[in-house]
């Protein structure tokens, strides 16, 4: 400034508010280097910290982060080893290291820690934080067989009487361990407000009597997430009695998430009425919804048919006025679309997010009715609904053009990639997050997609003044047999919402996805990514992050005709900085493959070819797996190709690797943060199949830290 005044002359109260609004870690680190006053302010306003270093260096922790309240210790290296019992920390007394942590971060209220054995928590809580109210335990390794039942939680519940939040969603344990501990510590259990038991390692989940016991011990719960089974063939399945007990035991619930363990397997099947029905009656659902008037978020992922649910969902809309998020898995009859009157889930007018999975009778008219009734939807997910077509999804997008910015469409028989993207044209310039399945149906990279019959100007919908014309558009043969009342409803619904149906002056929508920041893709192993731009995603100028999930069994797959999977085509997205390439559900031969087939090293070469042409800043990579030997390891071709990503600063490999393969990454000039994370079930008990043990990890990190980083 002309008078010599600088930003540092602002009052400390104003600067504190400015610093508090900065969330990016690197930006905060830069601010702390400006001057001493900025350093003090940055440390004073930093309330969240994730420690990323080697456990052997815990004695070197700085003491300037005394205002941190949220501390994450789950990513320390060597990843997955016991925090204080690793050979990396044998130089120092574990009890002194635990006290050192306590003194360095005296104000901690929220703690996340990798607790491979009960001793970790016992040491951390020798002198517990007085205000500790939230704990997340992480463990991907199997439960130690010698540990007594409940020993993982006993110390925590006895020492932290004011515990309000407990998260076991990433903690491998046995369901029968927790209920006795809660019953033995009634004061701590009564203080709990949030309990997350959505553990993806379970095969059967919590049984009905265990859920009833947990909810009875924790009457003040506001958030309750639990993995269970709704399959009547299993002992302890969740049925009517358990669902009635939940609102009776925990009437203050604001978030309820009940998920069948089979929902974790990412099944991609056409929704249908076949299979078992769940033992959940309409009367039970009415009782459940009526007993939870404060409900704001509800997930019922049953994976078994729940029939005739329309009436119960109407009760949900009337009894739970604060409901904002709803996810229904395999509920049938959620919206009957009979006549002009709204019904079923369409009466949940306050919804901001709706997810519908495997609803066999949901068709285009039901989708339009949902859009009419739930006019505030910001996020919408459609999974495995085989009757929904491009026409219905497009009309829904038109009706919700003002609000919807997050869409996920997967496993729908009539919605391949090109059809889905065409249907979303009305919100192309608004959508921020998108998931589609890469189902090309013969589409090739060289093909050009012109505007199809659906690319009409929606200003022209006023001309459809005859309800029969609209019904012909949505399938004339079928609609001719429907009632006149249904024809009149169609005429009504398309006329009353003209204010939503806006287009450009020429009646067509632009091809640019201006606001798209995050893109998620699912693709079958053996298919190519190259048709993606041709399908309709050629112009995404602000795309910053992409998730690509490759799934399937490569055993028996023919050798791909092309040399590469197609990552190089992503270079057309100029702002793309972050990528998650998840091949973890790709199965194959880790060792020698049968004659005529490719082993996993050749598949990795296929997947990663061309990745060096991208200007990525951060990469998460899940190597493909061999289930027979429980191995997910980076191969030599994969290590060589990953090394070509010269712009990388962060690389996280969710698997194992040989030490001499890891040394390849030392030649990536800007690489600053590298870690191997075996975060899958069950994580190997030891690393005898590779060379990355504790000492190997330490040698690699030392070599990485010795390098000079230009910035």
415 to 20, 280, 365, 379: CA distances (angstroms): 44, 31, 16, 18
pLDDT for residue 165 is more than 90: yes
- Contact predicate 629/590, CB 8 Å: yes
Lowest mean per-residue pLDDT among 319-328, 350-359, 442-451: 442-451
pLDDT at 424: 97
Residue closest to 133 by CA, chosen among 105, 103, 167: 167
Report the alpha-carbon distance of residue 288 to residue 312 in Å, rounded.
Answer: 10
Task: Provide the angle, in degrees to the nearest 10, between the axes of the packed helices 364-373 and 484-496.
Answer: 50
Taking residues 95-124, what's their average pLDDT?
92
- Of all residues in the chain, the percent with pLDDT exceeding 70 is 86
Residue 465 has pLDDT above 50, yes or no: no
Q: 48 has which bridge partners?
A: 70
pLDDT attached to residue 687: 57
CATH of 535-706, one of 3.40.50, 3.80.10, 3.30.910, 2.60.120: 3.80.10
**Every domain range in the chain assigned CATH 3.80.10.10:** 340-352+360-439
**Position 164 pLDDT exceeds 90:** yes
Among 158-167, 334-343, 422-431, 640-649, name the one with the lowest average pLDDT. 334-343
**Contacts for 15-21 with beta carbons within 8 Å, 24 or more apart?**
15/41, 16/41, 16/44, 16/45, 19/44, 19/45, 20/45
pLDDT, mean of residues 343-366: 96
> Residue 459 has what pLDDT?
42
Nearest to 644 by CA among 620, 622, 624, 616: 616
The confidence score (pLDDT) of residue 691 equals: 56
**Could you tell me where the beta strands, DSSP code E, fall in 280-399?**
297-306, 325-331, 353-357, 379-383
* C-alpha span between 687 and 693 (Å, rounded): 6
Instruction: Compute the average pLDDT of residues 78-94.
Output: 71
At residue 139, does pLDDT exceed 90? yes
SS3 318: helix
Least confident of 3-7, 576-580, 592-596, 654-658: 3-7
Question: Above pLDDT 90, what percent of the chain?
Answer: 64
* Contacts for 234 with CB less than 8 Å, ≥ 6 apart: 204
Q: Which tokens belong to 689? A: 């199949």
Residue 331 has pLDDT above 90, yes or no: yes
Query: What residues pair up with 518 in beta bridges, in sequence order?
Result: 433, 545
Name the E strands within 369-517.
379-383, 406-410, 433-437
Three-class SS of residue 600? Answer: helix
pLDDT of 468 strictly over 60: no
> In angstroms, rounded to a whole number, what is the distance separating the alpha carbons of residues 551 and 523?
6
**DSSP 8-state assignment for residue 559:** P
- How far is the first Cα of the chain from the last one, in angstroms, to the nearest whole number? 28
pLDDT tens-digit profile of 621-635? Answer: 999 999 888 788 999
The pLDDT, as a whole number, for residue 8 is 75
Residue 506 has pLDDT above 90, yes or no: no
Please answer whether residues 20 and 45 qualify as being in contact, where contact means their C-beta atoms are separated by less than 8 angstroms. Answer: yes
Outline where DSSP puts E strands in 212-296. Answer: 223-228, 255-260
- Distance between CA atoms of residues 242 and 205, nearest Å: 14
CB 228 within 8 A of CB 241: no
Q: Do 544 and 517 contact (CB within 8 A), yes or no? A: yes
Reported as a pLDDT band with limits 50, 70 and 90, residue 63 is confident
Q: What is the total residue count of the chain?
A: 711
- Residue 523 burial (CB count, 10 A): 22
Mean pLDDT estimate for the chain: 87
Q: What secondary structure does DSSP assign to 475-495, as a single string?
A: THHHHTTS-HHHHHHHHHHHH
Which pLDDT does position 462 carry in this prediction? 39
pLDDT tier for residue 681 given thresholds of 50, 70 and 90: confident
Fold of the domain built from segment(s) 340-352+360-439: 3.80.10
> Most confidently modeled of 3-7, 96-100, 514-518?
514-518
Q: Is the confidence at residue 476, as pLDDT, over 60?
A: no
Query: What CA–CA distance (Å, rounded) separates 161 from 508?
Result: 61
Peptide bond connecting 78 to the previous residue in cis, omega within 30 degrees of 0? yes
* pLDDT for residue 640 is more than 60: yes
Please report which confidence band the pLDDT of residue 83 belongs to, taking 50, 70 and 90 as the band edges: confident
Residue listed under structure tokens 């390849």: 664
Residue 332 has pLDDT above 50, yes or no: yes
Q: What is the pLDDT at residue 537?
A: 95
What is the helix (H) or strand (E) element at residue 39, kind and residue range?
A: helix 36-45
Residue whose token pair is 């194992």:
656
pLDDT at position 272? 53
- Could you tell me the pTM of the whole model? 0.88
pLDDT recorded at residue 274: 59
- Please, which pLDDT band fits residue 711 given cuts at 50, 70 and 90? low
Band (pLDDT 50/70/90 cuts) for residue 473 is very low
pLDDT higher than 50, residue 312: yes
Judging by beta carbons within 10 Å of its beta carbon (0-12, 13-18, 19+), is residue 511 exposed, middle or buried? Answer: middle
DSSP 102-158: HHHSTT--EEEEE-SSHHHHHHHTSS--TT--EEEEEE-SPPPTTSPTTHHHHHHHH
How many Å apart are CA 456 and CA 451, to the nearest integer?
Answer: 9
Residue 338: per-residue pLDDT? 85
Give the pLDDT score at 143. 84
Q: Is the pLDDT assigned to residue 138 strictly greater than 80?
A: yes
Residues 137, 109 contacting (CB under 8 angstroms) = no
260-284 pLDDT, tens digit per residue, is: 999 987 666 544 555 688 999 999 9
- The torsion of the CA quartet 491, 492, 494, 498, rounded to 10 degrees, works out to 130
Whether residue 693 is predicted with pLDDT greater than 80 in this model: the reply is: no
Report yes or no: 584 and 626 within 8 Å, Cβ to Cβ: no
Mean pLDDT of 245-264: 96
193-332 to CATH, choices 3.80.10, 3.30.310, 3.40.50, 1.25.40: 3.80.10
For the chain, the C-alpha Rg in angstroms (whole number) is 27
Enumerate residues 6+ apart whose C-beta is below 8 A from 93: none
């Amino acid at each position: 400034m002309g008078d010599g005044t600088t930003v540092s002359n602002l009052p400390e109260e104003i600067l504190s508010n400015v610093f508090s609004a900065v969330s990016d870690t690197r930006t905060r680190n830069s601010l702390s280097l400006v001057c001493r006053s900025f350093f003090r302010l940055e440390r004073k306003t930093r309330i969240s910290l994730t420690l990323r270093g080697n456990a052997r260096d815990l004695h070197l922790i700085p003491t300037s982060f005394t205002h941190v309240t949220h501390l994450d210790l789950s990513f320390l290296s060597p990843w997955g080893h016991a925090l204080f019992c690793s050979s990396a920390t044998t130089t120092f007394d574990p009890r002194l290291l635990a006290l050192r942590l306590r003194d360095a971060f005296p104000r901690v209220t929220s703690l996340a820690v990798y607790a491979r054995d009960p001793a970790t928590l016992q040491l951390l809580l020798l002198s517990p934080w007085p205000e500790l109210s939230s704990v997340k335990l992480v463990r991907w390794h199997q439960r130690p067989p010698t540990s007594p039942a409940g020993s993982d939680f006993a110390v925590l519940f006895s020492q932290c009487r004011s515990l309000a939040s407990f998260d076991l969603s990433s903690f491998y344990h046995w369901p029968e361990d927790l209920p006795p501990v809660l019953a033995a510590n009634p004061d701590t259990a009564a203080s709990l407000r949030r309990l997350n038991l959505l553990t993806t390692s379970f095969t059967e989940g919590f049984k009905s009597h265990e859920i009833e016991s947990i909810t009875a011990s924790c009457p003040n719960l506001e958030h309750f997430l639990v993995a269970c089974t709704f399959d009547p063939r299993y002992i302890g399945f969740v049925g009517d009695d358990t669902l009635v007990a939940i609102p009776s035991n925990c009437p203050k619930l604001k978030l309820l998430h009940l998920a069948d363990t089979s929902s974790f397997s990412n099944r991609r099947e056409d929704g249908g009425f076949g299979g078992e029905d769940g033992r959940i009656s309409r009367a039970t659902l009415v009782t459940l919804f009526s007993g939870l008037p404060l409900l704001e978020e509800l997930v019922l992922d049953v994976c078994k048919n729940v029939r005739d649910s329309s009436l119960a969902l109407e009760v949900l809309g009337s009894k739970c006025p604060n409901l904002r998020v709803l996810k229904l898995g395999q509920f049938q009859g959620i919206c009957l679309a009979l006549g002009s009157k709204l019904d079923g889930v369409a009466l949940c007018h306050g919804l901001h997010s709706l997810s519908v999975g495997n609803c066999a009778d949901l068709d285009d008219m039901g989708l339009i009715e949902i859009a009419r009734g739930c006019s505030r939807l910001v996020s919408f997910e459609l999974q495995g609904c085989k009757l929904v077509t491009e026409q219905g999804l497009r009309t829904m997008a038109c009706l919700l053009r003002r609000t919807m910015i997050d869409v996920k469409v997967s496993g729908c028989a009539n919605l391949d990639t090109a059809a889905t993207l065409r249907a979303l044209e009305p919100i192309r310039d608004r959508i921020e997050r998108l998931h589609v399945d890469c189902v090309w149906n013969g589409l090739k990279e060289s093909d050009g997609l012109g505007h199809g019959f659906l690319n009409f100007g929606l200003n022209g919908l006023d001309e459809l003044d005859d309800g029969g014309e609209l019904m012909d558009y949505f399938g004339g043969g079928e609609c001719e047999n429907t009632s006149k009342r249904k024809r009149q409803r169609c005429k009504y619904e398309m006329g009353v919402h003209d204010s939503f149906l806006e287009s450009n002056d020429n009646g067509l929508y632009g091809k640019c996805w201006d606001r798209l920041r995050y893109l998620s893709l699912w693709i079958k192993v053996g298919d190519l990514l190259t048709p993606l731009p041709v399908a309709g995603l050629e112009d995404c100028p602000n795309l910053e992050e992409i998730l690509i999930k490759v799934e399937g069994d490569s055993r028996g797959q023919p050798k791909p005709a092309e040399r590469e999977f197609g990552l190089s085509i992503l270079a057309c997205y100029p702002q793309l900085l972050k990528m998650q390439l998840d091949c973890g559900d790709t199965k194959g031969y880790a060792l020698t493959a049968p004659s005529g087939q490719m082993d996993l090293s050749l598949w990795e070469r296929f997947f990663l070819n061309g990745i060096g042409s991208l200007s990525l800043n951060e990469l998460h990579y899940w190597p493909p797996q061999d289930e027979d030997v429980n191995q997910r390891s980076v191969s030599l071709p994969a290590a060589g190709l990953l090394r070509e990503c010269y712009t990388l600063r962060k690389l996280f490999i969710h698997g194992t690797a040989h030490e001499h393969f890891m040394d390849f990454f030392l030649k990536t000039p800007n690489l600053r943060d590298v870690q191997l994370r075996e975060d899958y079930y069950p994580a190997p008990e030891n690393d005898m199949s590779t060379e990355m043990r504790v000492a190997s990890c330490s040698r690699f990190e030392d070599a990485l830290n010795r390098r000079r980083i230009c910035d």
